[in-house]
Amino acid sequence: MDLYQQAAELILKSKHTTVFTGAGISVESGIPPFRGETGLWSQYDPIILDLDYYYRHPNESWPAIKKLFYDFFGSAKPNLAHQIIAQWEKKELVHTIITQNIDHLHQNAGSEKVLEFHGSSQSFICAQCYKVYKVASINLDDNPPLCQNCTSLLKPNFIFFGEGINPSIYKESIYNTEIAELYIIIGTTGEVMPASQIPLLAKQRGAQIIEINIEASHFTAEITDIYLEDKASIVLSILDKKINALLTK
């Protein structure tokens, strides 16, 4: 039996499948990864996303953040991989999505059960009064954007360097990892802590691990049961056809 057939059968048999996505799934939407030779950190100084630096030098950080995450990323659309995962969720083949991405593309594709481990670019939070704003209500041309309530600095509501993970998101991510019978890792190298530790917990709790990546990751040799090497949209399209064939038998 080929690996795709095995993976399709695992997806159909699983009573709780958790999908864990990283930057690789959004590359096909035109969003480059942060790391690697062509990654964003080869072009921008990561200090722009250092929490302390942002609060001390917002006039320097904000223009680069706006250009990256709002001017450029803001035009990105969900790709076929996002769409297939959303379809699987509707068919109850996927029960939870844990994403390290802040691009909101899973939700834009129609997924509802999404845990944004690193937060989201779609809202801002006030550093002083903690009022939360949707991105559509903010004038992004302000340098930097300020709270309409107390005039303090607004911060994009995603995790900066030096900032902790939202405790409730962390707890829910752990829960949906521990109860998973099947864990599908897509488009992540497994380099970013503490997110990289979560799939290990799935394996420890007995989950089967399917990994979809264009090249081997830190997970491949350590915890992966089925490794499908290609772009996410290609792999998921093949799996979707295999699943549909099994369902119509």
Q: What amino acid positions are annotated as catalytic residues?
A: 118
| Contact status, residue 196 vs residue 223, Cβ threshold 8 Å | no
In terms of Cβ atoms closer than 10 Å to its own Cβ (0-12, 13-18, 19+), residue 159 is buried
**Cα–Cα distance for residue pair 66/100, rounded to 1 Å:** 20
User: Helix, strand, coil: what percent of the chain each, to 5?
Assistant: 40, 20, 40
**Cα–Cα distance for residue pair 225/38, rounded to 1 Å:** 29
What are 83's two structure tokens?
Answer: 């769409």
201: which residues sit within 8 A by CB, 6+ positions away?
Answer: 174, 177, 178
Sign of dihedral through CA atoms 157, 163, 167, 170? positive
**Cα–Cα distance for residue pair 65/57, rounded to 1 Å:** 12
| Contact status, residue 123 vs residue 147, Cβ threshold 8 Å | no
What residue type is 227 in one-letter code?
Answer: Y
